[in-house]
Chain A
Amino acid sequence: MAEQITEREQWGSRWGLILAVAGNAIGLGNFLRFPVQAASNGGGAFMIPYFIFFLIVGIPLMWMEWGIGRHGGKYGHGSAPGMFDVLWKNKIAKYFGAIGLFVSTIILIYYTYIESWTLGYSFLSITKSYFGLENFEAMKSFLYGYQGREATSYFNGITIAYIFMLITFVLNFWILYKGISKGIEKLAKIAMPALFIFAIIIVIRVITLGTPDPAIPENSVSNGFGFIWNPDFSKLGDPKIWLAAAGQIFFTLSVGMGTIHAYASYLKPKDDIVISGLATSATNEFAEVILGGSIAIPISVAFFGIATTTAMAKGGSFDLGFASMPLVFEQIPFGEIFGFLWFLLLFFAGITSSVAMGQQVIAFLEDEFGMSRKKAVLSLGFAVLLAVQLVVFYLKFGYLDEMDYWAGTFGLVVFAFVETVIFMWIFGAEKAWNEMNEGGDIKIPRFFFYIMKYVTPLMLFIVMMWWLINDAIPILLLKGVAEENLIYVWGSRIFMIIVFATFLYLIHIAWKKKRMRNGLSN
């Protein structure tokens, strides 16, 4: 394909790139989802499938996505449609890339709102706004009041949540407007070290808590760690545990979205991706297992015991992070500061991920339509700002949950499976292997070749089928959806169909324009 390659932006430093990709991977899930998954799926035994999938799905996908991204960047493509088009000489290839754009855009829309809760809660922590609430139910009611799910005496509507949503939105798009090196890389260089420092401070506070109430010796940090790590080997016979581990690896590394591809596209053709990809994965695991596993669950067990922590965790990761953690903060000295650090940490984890989602779409508009960065950022920003209104106002009706399942869960595994097949089977395993190893500081061990060619796509296919049968079909058939929420769930689906169709149309238009340009120049 004789395409004109225009001058593209570049990363300022290798460290900046690694921090940015690690920031993309490290999200709220590292600190909220992982500990809940580990504790409820066999504790230490969960780590066996977790690390197996890390080796056979996580790391291989990470290298493949860096490889696809850098390869696409050589041809001036920073998003999945263009990347797939150069890997697979087929007219339909580029349309598969719409899945990546769709997933990133939908997640960006609702993640911006979720991310804003963490910023809002860091403010509410330092101002001690929730201090005085005595139990989990009251704290949950406070959270629901903040989110506008319930009318409570704590908040007058969703004004505060809306203000923080706007602040978060402006911050995200301002960083995107500043560009790769001056925006995203600068953010990563500030936010990532800050995130680690805050997390280490909180972990030290957690492990020095001991037994907060000597009258209840079983409520201790030590038992909290036992709750996460004591292995229950009987659970290993349950395929659900293996699927849960595969899912966690998938979510935590932020693969299957097209965001890593976008970042890697700004590399030079001979830049290493082997060590960079491995370093990104290792940094994410450090944040998840060592830091994430040492905060929410141990502190919750220390204050409320295992039974209550289990009940809290069953309500979901957000109940654990936004209801049980504040209950702890109000009971410890300088709790307002620890609460502020905890939620700011989550905010940094969130914003370094959301800018990555936005970057892929901006790269698509810049590279395929020749838009200026300013115009691309304004276009996406305007669309996201409009769409996020629906998430804000229809949150309590399940509007966000529907998006989270189809884009943020099922869409990821579909995209990962598609990209693996295109890269390893259509583009060709040997070519893909050489592409990934090009410029590498080390050679990827050869056994990963067979893992990437056979095991990773097979595992992705199994996970995809399992989720399709066990979750996607019941969700599609609206099982368990309250009658009054049906219209909002359908509204969410129609919205997602419109977004997906829009991307298909934009891809069609972009390539049509390119054909016309090439025709004129020939």
Chain B
Amino acid sequence: MGFQTSGIIFMILAYLFIGGLVAYCLYKLLFSKTKK
């Protein structure tokens, strides 16, 4: 079976989506006006 290219692509896309979301939220939390 192996770890197919399509599987690797799906994994990378999912990681990028979640990583992007986390990075965006961190950016907003660190630099937002209302941060405490």
Contact = CB atoms under 8 A, between A and B. Distances in A.
Contacts of B25: 275, 278-279, 282-283
Interface in B1-36: 1-4, 6-11, 14-15, 17-19, 21-22, 24-26, 28-29, 32-36
Contacts of B10: 43-45, 47, 229-231
Interface of B: 1-4, 6-11, 14-15, 17-19, 21-22, 24-26, 28-29, 32-36
Interface of A: 13-15, 18, 43-45, 47, 51, 218, 222-223, 225-231, 270-272, 275, 278-279, 281-283, 285-286, 289-290, 306, 439, 441-442
Main secondary structure of the interface of A (DSSP, over half): helix
Contact of A223 (B2, B26, B28, B29): B2
Contacts of A222: 2-3
Given A44-B6, A226-B2, A442 B22 contact: no
Given A229-B10, A275-B29, A275-B32, 20 more contacts: A14-B29, A14-B35, A15-B29, A18-B29, A47-B14, A218-B1, A225-B7, A225-B11, A231-B7, A270-B34, A272-B34, A275-B28, A278-B25, A279-B29, A282-B25, A285-B21, A286-B18, A286-B19, A441-B32, A442-B28
Given A14-B29, A14-B36, A441-B33, A226 B3 contact: yes
A2 to B, nearest CB: 30
Nearest to A17: B36
A442 B25 CA distance: 11
Nearest to A272: B34
B3 to A, nearest CB: 4
Contacts of A47: 10, 14
Contact of B15 (A271, A290, A306): A290
B31 to A, nearest CB: 9
B18 A290 contact: yes
